Amino acid sequence: MAALLYSALIGCSADASALPSASIVSTVGNQVVLPCSWKPPLGEVAPPDCHIVWSTLVDTVFERRGVVRWEADEFQGRLEVPEERLRSGNCSLIIRDVQIADTGSYESFMVVNGARSKKTRVSLQTVKLSVYDHKTYQSHHPGEDFVLQLYTQHSMSVVFQGRDSSVWTDVWLREEGNSERVVKHPLLQQLTMRKVQHTDEGVYKVLDENGLAVSTVQLTVEENPAPSRQFRTQENIPTDVAASSSGSALLILPLLVCSLQIVRLV
């Protein structure tokens, strides 16, 4: 019995040749994997009480000992080290729906039970995680719908600054739900602003519960309503070509389709 226990404890000992430190970069809302591995002794199935700890410089964020797991409040429902993977030597930490505030340094440890219930923490891996916000541009014609991604359920509000304005106004608050013009998709983390107008032009910021920017979208509302296809085609003709073709409708189409070489032949 004692011998069994002893080998079990040895089984939990960490491999000294730990991985070098890693860097992981992501944008908000994605899943990331902070890599970590340890080596169970050859030919042995690691015991279920292997105790893995992931922590930041400040706090412990995740622990697993066999089937028992614990995670810090600020990561509620977002962390995992799958037990079966841990037993086969993979102590990688999965972080779902990664947030700006998750940015920082992480370190994994294997807690090893020594003689007389003395515990030692063996460092396995350090990982630097950087989480960035999204930055995009969108252009619409008046009357079109503007779809704004929220990226994560932790996005709490959207604020707007008009083109010639210096103030930020609320466009959407999660706690208040939909308004007449701004509607959240029932399942997806996205908003639709109906029928944009000129006055909607400007910068939209999606903010999380810490007030950090998850996303910044620059919206341009173009001067003229979308012209019809025919009208647009004519607009696209270079002026010199249009002039040399003397407005012949028969010539316009081939000129558009073919290269300038054909223009020279004509």
| Residue 128 C-beta: closest distance to ligand NAG, Å | 18
Nearer residue to ligand NAG within complex by CB, 69 or 134: 69
Q: Is 251 in the site for ligand NAG (CB under 6 A)?
A: no
Alpha helices in 92-238 (DSSP H): 229-235
Instruction: Report the DSSP pairing between strands 213-221 and 134-140.
Output: parallel
Of 128-157, binders to ligand NAG (CB under 6 A) are none
| Residue 240 phi, psi (nearest 5) | -65, -40
Q: Is 94 in the site for ligand NAG (CB under 6 A)?
A: yes
User: Is the Cα torsion angle 194, 196, 199, 200 positive or negative in sign?
Assistant: positive
DSSP state of 214: E
| Residue labelled with tokens 């620059």 | 218
Residue 87 touching ligand NAG (CB under 6 A)? no
**Residue 82 binds to ligand NAG (criterion: CB under 6 A):** yes
Q: Site for ligand NAG (CB under 6 A): how many residues?
A: 6
Residue 241 lies near ligand NAG (rule: CB under 6 A): no
Establish if 33 lies at the interface with ligand NAG (CB under 6 A). Answer: yes
C-beta closer to ligand NAG: residue 33 or 183? 33
Nearest CA to 150 out of 106, 181, 185, 202 is that of 185
Query: What is the rounded distance in angstroms from the CA atom of residue 183 to the CA atom of residue 178?
Result: 5
Q: How far is the CB of 82 from ligand NAG (least distance, A)?
A: 5
Q: Interface with ligand NAG by CB under 6 A: which residues?
A: 33, 82, 85, 90, 92, 94
